[in-house]
Amino acid sequence: MSLILGIESTCDETAAAVVSDGVIVRSNVVATQYELHQVYRGVVPEIASRAHIENILPVLQEALMKAGCTFEQLDAIAVSQRPGLIGSLLIGVTAAKTLAWSLQKPLVGVDHVQAHLYSVMLGGGRAVDFPAIGLVCSGGHTALYLVKSWSDVTLVGQTIDDAVGEAYDKVAAILGLEYPGGPVIDKLAALGDPKAINFPRSRLERDSLDFSFSGVKTSVLYHVRGHKGRERDAGSVTQEELRDVCAGFQQACTDVLRLKIERALQRFGGRSVIVGGRPAPEPTGASFDSVSGSFSETATTTPRFTTLLLTVVMLVMLVVWVMMVTFCCVGTTTRALTLAPKSFALTNAYCSGPMS
């Protein structure tokens, strides 16, 4: 039986999980920071970093305690090394390096955005039929990937301005709703009419696979506060109109995501759709199922109980397996594992020598 400890600190959550044999979740501990950042309506990097420092040791200790194992019984340490806030990443990577060095255990760095794609393997999800088109919607990331196999993943499209999650938070601010915006907008949208207000869909060029959500955000601003954005206050909007605005905005975002997936399926001959991450618009599952009906492929979405942390650990199991197959080794030194605010090609995650 193998035991992997995964550590996650890319943004405003400190998390640790222990997984055995790649599928059995022994523990999953997450410390959130919503209350610290709510007053600023967004994550403040310095505040997030300080909270990670306070949370990292208690989270690690609780994860081991709930898993019923000791640090010495671990077979490897995994950590999100990119993309993310540098100050936040530093805390998790430093903790992982320290553990790997002191315990003389393998250390594996993981690209956490691409790890979202692997979350569909958890919870008894349907098998993926390759090649697949992968969509990741998570916080500041909205991206499309061509997934030829779990070891061959290529970025084919991404947002050129706001990610869909960022657009949700900004629209929530325009409407005077609480932060984060995703849950409250989805809740109100379920009570509204998505056809009542026709917000624009940004398609970009005819063959573009990139995304843009700044336009629909601005359209909501003008609709609610007037053409100059200052003619009236959001408080003058009735509850019925508020629900319709949320429903129309949500539908516009979903339509754009669906359109780009359809384009990617046609271009690359995709046979399945993978949807990973959270906060994608609530109706995306049904919407992508309709894409499946049009293009004869399965839509596989992240299980609701799955956190980013578990996707990191699952990807680590895959990385370790690929390393074993290709005769690479995972080292125990800790000097070369670097941090980065942006994502990178999945194939670059695999070491060709001692990983550190």
CATH code for the domain of 335: 3.30.420.40
140/269 same-domain check: yes
Written as six digits, the tokens of 335 are 């000097």
Task: Return left, alpha or beta for 176; rule: phi > 0 is left, psi -120 to 50 is alpha, else beta.
Answer: left
Q: Is the pLDDT of residue 243 over 70?
A: yes
Q: Quick check: is 171 in a domain?
A: yes
Residue at 355 is within a domain? no
Flag whether pLDDT at 43 surpasses 60: yes
Q: Does one domain contain both 211 and 169?
A: yes
Residues of the chain above pLDDT 90, percent: 50
Residues 54 and 200 reside in one and the same domain? no
Is the model more confident about 308 or about 54?
54
The answer to whether residue 14 sits within a structural domain is: yes
Task: Please check whether residues 233 and 340 belong to one and the same domain.
Answer: no
Assess whether 291 and 336 both reside in one domain: no
Given a contact cutoff of 8 angstroms between Cβ atoms, the answer to whether 78 and 5 are in contact is yes
The whole-angstrom separation of Cα 9 and Cα 103 is 21
* Range in 86-100, 139-153, 337-351 with the lowest mean pLDDT: 337-351
What confidence score (pLDDT) does residue 9 get?
Answer: 92
Same domain flag for 99 and 142? no
Is the same domain home to 272 and 310? Answer: no
Q: Which residues pair with 300 in a beta bridge?
A: 274
Task: Report pLDDT for 290.
Answer: 46
If asked whether residues 134 and 112 sit together in one domain, one would say no
The answer to whether position 332 is within a domain reads: yes
Domain assignment of residue 356, yes or no = no
pLDDT: which is higher, 243 or 19: 243
Tell me if the pTM is above 0.85: no
HEC readout, the chain: CCEEEEEECCCCEEEEEEEECCCEEEEEEEEECHHHHHHHCCCCHHHHHHHHHHHHHHHHHHHHHHHCCCHHHCCEEEEEEECCCHHHHHHHHHHHHHHHHHHCCCEEEEEHHHHHHHHHHHHHCCCCCCCEEEEEEECCEEEEEEEEECCEEEEEEEECCCCHHHHHHHHHHHCCCCCCHHHHHHHHHCCCCCCCCCCCCCCCCCCCCCECCHHHHHHHHHHHHCCCCCCCCHHHCCHHHHHHHHHHHHHHHHHHHHHHHHHHHHHHCCCEEEEECCCCCCCHHHHHHHHHHHHCCEEEECCCCCCHHHHHHHHHHHHHHHHHHCCCCCCCCCCCCCCCCCCCCHHHHCCCCCCC
Cα 34 from Cα 166, distance rounded (Å): 15
Does residue 284 lie in a domain region? yes
Domain that holds residue 289: 126-301
Are 274 and 128 spatial neighbours (Cβ–Cβ below 8 Å)?
yes
Instruction: Say what the pLDDT of residue 341 is.
Output: 72
| 141 and 273 part of one domain | yes
Longest dimension (CA), the chain: 65
Q: How big is the CA angle at 193 (ends 188 and 196), to the nearest 5 degrees?
A: 125
pLDDT band at 227 (very low <50, low <70, confident <90, very high): confident
Residue 93 phi/psi, 5-degree rounding, is: -65, -40
pLDDT greater at residue 323 or residue 54: 54
- The tokens of 303 are what? 């299980």
- pLDDT category at 314 given cuts 50, 70, 90 is low
**For 114-123, 259-268, 331-340, which range has the lowest pLDDT when averaged over its residues?**
331-340
Residue 25: pLDDT band with limits 50, 70, 90: confident
The answer on 312 and 225 residing in a single domain is no
Q: Are residues 296 and 314 located together in one domain of the fold? A: no
Q: Is 50 exceeded by the pLDDT of residue 356?
A: no
Same domain, 184 and 324: no
> According to the model, what pLDDT value does residue 245 have?
96
End-to-end CA distance of the chain: 24
pLDDT band at 172 (very low <50, low <70, confident <90, very high): very high
Q: Is residue 254 part of a domain?
A: yes
Of 118, 167, 177, which Cα lies nearest the Cα of 141? Answer: 167
Average pLDDT over residues 163-191: 92
Nearest in space to 161 (alpha carbons), one of 124, 210, 208 = 210
Q: Which of 20-24, 110-114, 296-300, 313-317 has the highest mean pLDDT?
A: 110-114
What average pLDDT score do residues 41-70 get? Answer: 93
Total domain count, the chain: 2
Question: For residue 280, is pLDDT > 90?
Answer: no
> Is 354 domain-assigned?
no
Question: With left for phi above 0 and alpha for psi between -120 and 50, is residue 20 left, alpha or beta?
Answer: beta
Average pLDDT over residues 97-110: 92
